[in-house]
A = this chain, B = another copy of it.
Amino acid sequence: MKTPLVTVDIIIFTVMEKDLKVLLIKREIDPFKEKWAMPGGFIKIDEPLEEAAKRELYEETSVKDVYLEQLYTFGGIGRDPRARVITVSYFALINSNEVKIKASSDASDVRWYAVKQLPELAFDHRKIIEYALKRLRWKLEYTTVAFKLLPEKFTLTQLQEVYEIIFDKELDKRNFRKKILSLGLVKETKETQKEVSHRPAKIYSFNRSIGIGEIVEIF
């Protein structure tokens, strides 16, 4: 029986330099040579899907330890000019600290692009990124995944910036804090910001008694 090929693709987001970014790789082979694409590739016959996604991400970008969830399976005919290929796409988040270490890990053909300034993309990857972006906004509104875009310890202003950047909208500082604190999502640490030329902010950490990705209506 003829059966389609199966790939996984990973769309990984981070917040960096006050911008929402995705990690892309420049293709070195046809089809779509020289175009940019999300990390991904064919799955192995004895490999679970999510593991394949992690493996491809690590092989191609040296990025690991990310929040990962399945996004959608794209299976239109003609996605790939060579053959029928079905791709199971995964949605990943990583915090900007780890990114600094890993993004430049190999050649310069792996880059973080601001989602507002994407280059020409291979396959149907633009469509996939748009879909992922909707999911990301939804996830921020209704779950606690935002914390996966921040390091272990953060200030409330940093947290608010994550929301503002992704929603592309300013939020009221007082109301934001009231909401986050009343939901008990974070706990204070004893630390404060260092070496800032203004009043230092309190440092918080995520309240681990609430699961990351758990459904909590935030806005």
Q: Which residues of A contact B (CB under 8 A)?
A: 1-6, 42-49, 70, 72-73, 75-77, 84, 86, 88
In the complex where A45-B84, A48-B76 touch, is A4 in contact with B6 (Cβ < 8 A)? yes
CB distance from A82 to the nearest CB of B (A): 12
> How far is it, in angstroms, between the C-alpha of A47 and the C-alpha of B2 when the chains are bound?
12
> How far is it, in angstroms, between the C-alpha of A66 and the C-alpha of B76 when the chains are bound?
20
- Which residues from chain B contact A4 at a C-beta distance below 8 Å? 3, 6, 43, 45
**In the complex, which residue of chain B has the Cβ closest to the Cβ of A7?**
B3
Q: Which 6 A-B pairs have the closest CB atoms?
A: A49-B75, A2-B45, A73-B73, A73-B88, A3-B5, A45-B84
> How far is it, in angstroms, between the C-alpha of A6 and the C-alpha of B73 when the chains are bound?
12
Of B42, B46, B49, B76, which one neighbours A86 at CB under 8 angstroms? B49
- Which residues from chain B contact A1 at a C-beta distance below 8 Å? 5, 42
